[in-house]
Amino acid sequence: MKKLLMGNEAVAHAALAAGVAVVAGYPGTPSSEVVETVAKLNAEGAAQGVHVEWSTNEKAALEVVFGASASGARGLFTAKQMGLNVASDALLSLNYVGVRGGLVLYVADDPGPISSQTEQDTRRFAAFAKVPVLDPSTPEELYSMVAYAFNLSERYGTPVIVRPTTRICHASTFFDVPGTYAARPIPDGGFVKDDSHWVIFPARSFRAHAEINERLDAIAKAPQAQEGNEPRGDESRADESRGDESRGNEPTDDEPCFNPVIEVGEDPRLGIAAGGVSAAYVREALALLQAQNESLPAYKLMQVGTPYPFPEDAALAFAEGLEQILVFEELDYVLEDEFLKLAGKYHLVYTVHGKLDERTLTRGENSSEDAIRRLADYLGVAANIETPRTPDGVQAPVRPPVLCAGCPHRASFYAVKQALRSIKPEKAAVLCGDIGCYTLGNAKPLEAVDTCLCMGAGITMAQGISIAEPGRKALAFIGDSTFFASGLTGVANAVYNQHDITICVLDNSTTAMTGSQPHPGTGATLMGAQSKPIDIEESLRALGIQCVVCAHAFNAAEAQAAAKEAIDFEGPSAVIFEGPCIQLSKPFAPPVVDAQACTGCAVCVKAIGCPAMSMQTIEGREKLLMCIDQSLCNGCNLCVSTCPFDTIGGGQDA
Ligand code: SF4
Ligand code: SF4
């Protein structure tokens, strides 16, 4: 079947074609569509014998997949780059234990960053964990690498990371895919008891470290790591990769090469090395410079698709005769380090340029335009770059991220701020936020989030603040999905150590920021079955929180009273604000502003900052008056309670 697929969707097809039996992950942009595509194909009956799940967090997901691998099944784990931090405890140990069924970690990096707290580089993490990593430059290569990764994993008994970046994950192209899939059956007998293998005692770890070193050395020298003439993006390989567990114990010549070298002109002295999507930008830039100039100086280009273990032999062959190497890569200077190390180790005389001497961008995303400029300078040729413009030549204004009109989180933040005003603590309360849409509560006019660190940290940071500043109120906001992912241990810590904090759970019944995925609190699973939702209130009480108050986020009086009760409580307390995400709920009719009664004081707009509200001129009135954009308004009625003159009338059910 020929299908137009985005990179993430193609990964799902590649893994299914490779016979994957268990797919587990935790949502995180830019990786989320892999699990969703497997679930969709499963629901359509196109994938047989496959289990797919959103796990409670990345650590749980990786351990589920590793258990399946121990039974001989092929498993795929998915996460964004910071999700690997959460799963790292499991990863570093399971690499020492070794895998049985192929185990591939799909970890998507986010240069920019576009939707992350860090610009961390999973290639560095792979080296730290001593796990091979593959780095695609196109969605086609990504597809091919996933298939190869399963073979590599079983051949050497190692987990393998496939690490694309955002542009590869979200770019779309046509793929030939089988369309129907079946999981590879597990070998007879399934899990084989063997304490010397599966139980990670120190003596076993010591032996395993040697095994890891040996297999990394072998992988670095494998034919797939050597240089070739063209990158291979042959998707038919995915289907061939399916086989029994013993298949693929020896590398074969027909497997793709991911470190291609191109030589242009005679006796080149200039080298260019690139990894990931930067390799695609460099190819595009060189083609343009070639078209714009009569001739280019001789050069060699190496794409490094297997950055760890670094393909030293291939890189040595590439570097032969070169005087300079310009390295293009995003995030960290991983390849640059490797070429510098190579020069030191073999006393080579080339100079390496890149992030370290600021000849390439030291952070953020690369681009074709940037590569054209820098390569033209490096090669000493002219470049004519047309800067893309909007049709009328005007740049669109920057629009800051903001909570949606009608978002229940706005109502919850407003309730807490109002409750705090009535209490008037000596020092302003510290409001610790967390990862999710509700981080946007930081923006004016709400200013309801003072900190944001990582998943679950709001609850525990609030505890640290309450210790350091006794008497100062510390509150923590956490979403329902994050509560299950990383919040529970923080709650237990607050109860155990009796920290005087108030936990505000913003329960919108979904994982909203990453695309409305279900979680334990919803009970909906990706296998179609509905499990009993885990009740957040019961969980808090079971963990020992004695003051737990529930309120509907949009019932302003109830929400403010609930917030006040929890804040007034001495010791750990919690308030649960319930209100579904507007993506999941039916909108209500917008409220109506009485234009004659409105004084134009703007108190309402300044109180909640709903993007559907604005101050505008109305015919016959001199002052700016509050207007509601009917196309944006969700009819939540939060604004009704903010007007001191009662000029906003409640909307009606749509
Ligand atoms: S009812 Fe008011 S607060 Fe709610 S979405 Fe409409 S304008 Fe915004
Ligand atoms: S609706 Fe009420 S709060 Fe808003 S500007 Fe008019 S009078 Fe002021």
What pLDDT digit, counting tens, does each position of 342-369 carry? 999 999 999 999 999 999 999 999 999 9
More confident residue, 222 or 549: 549
Contacting residues for 632 by C-beta, under 8 A, at least 6 apart: 405, 611, 612
CA of 609 to the centre of ligand 2 (A): 13
Contacting residues for 585 by C-beta, under 8 A, at least 6 apart: none
Instruction: Identify the band that residue 241 occupies on the pLDDT scale cut at 50, 70 and 90.
Output: very low
Domains and CATH numbers, the chain: 2-186+196-240 (3.40.50.970), 261-379 (3.40.50.920), 408-578 (3.40.50.970), 592-649 (3.30.70.20)
Contacting residues for 13 by C-beta, under 8 A, at least 6 apart: 3, 5, 37, 41, 143, 175, 177, 178, 181, 238
Average pLDDT estimate for 168-195: 94
Average pLDDT estimate for 103-109: 98
CA of 32 to the centre of ligand 2 (A): 42
637 CB within 6 A, ligand 1: yes
Residue 124 has pLDDT above 60, yes or no: yes
Among candidate residues 204, 199, 197, 137, the one with its CA nearest the CA of residue 167: 137
Residue 615 Cα: closest atom of ligand 2? 5
pLDDT tens per residue, range 631-643: 999 999 999 999 9
Question: Dihedral of CA 225/227/231/235: which sign?
Answer: negative
**pLDDT value at position 6?**
97
**pLDDT value at position 424?**
72
**pLDDT value at position 619?**
82
Residue 608 Cα: closest atom of ligand 1? 3
Instruction: Identify the band that residue 394 occupies on the pLDDT scale cut at 50, 70 and 90.
Output: confident
**pLDDT value at position 568?**
94
Pick from 533-547, 594-608, 613-627: least confident: 613-627
Count of CB atoms situated within 10 Å of the CB of 262 = 16
**pLDDT value at position 24?**
98
Is the CB of residue 548 less than 8 Å from the CB of residue 576?
Answer: yes
**pLDDT value at position 584?**
83
Tell me whether strands 474-479 and 22-25 are parallel, antiparallel or unpaired: unpaired
Pick from 55-59, 217-221, 421-425, 570-574: least confident: 421-425
Among candidate residues 182, 53, 35, the one with its CA nearest the CA of residue 106: 35
Residue 322 has pLDDT above 70, yes or no: yes
Residue 588 Cα: closest atom of ligand 1? 1
By 3-state DSSP, what share of the chain in percent is helix, strand and coil, each rounded to 5?
A: 40, 15, 45
Average pLDDT estimate for 586-599: 90
pLDDT tens per residue, range 213-227: 999 999 998 876 765
The mean pLDDT of the chain is 91
Pick from 178-182, 253-257, 258-262, 436-440: least confident: 253-257
User: What percentage of the chain reaches a pLDDT higher than 90?
Assistant: 80
d(C-alpha 303, C-alpha 281), whole Å: 11
Average pLDDT estimate for 550-574: 96
Instruction: Identify the band that residue 240 occupies on the pLDDT scale cut at 50, 70 and 90.
Output: very low
Task: Choose one of 402, 638, 647 to mutate for the ligand 1 pocket test, by most ligand atoms within 8 angstroms of C-beta.
Answer: 638
pLDDT tens per residue, range 151-165: 999 999 999 999 999
Residue 44 has pLDDT above 80, yes or no: yes
Instruction: Identify the band that residue 239 occupies on the pLDDT scale cut at 50, 70 and 90.
Output: very low
Ligand 2: residue whose CA is nearest its atom 2:
643
First and final C-alpha spacing in the chain? 43
Q: How far is CA 80 from CA 13, 107, 435, in A?
A: 19, 5, 13
Ligand 2: residue whose CA is nearest its atom 8:
601
**pLDDT value at position 234?**
40
Instruction: Identify the band that residue 250 occupies on the pLDDT scale cut at 50, 70 and 90.
Output: low
Ligand 2: residue whose CA is nearest its atom 6:
598
**pLDDT value at position 251?**
59
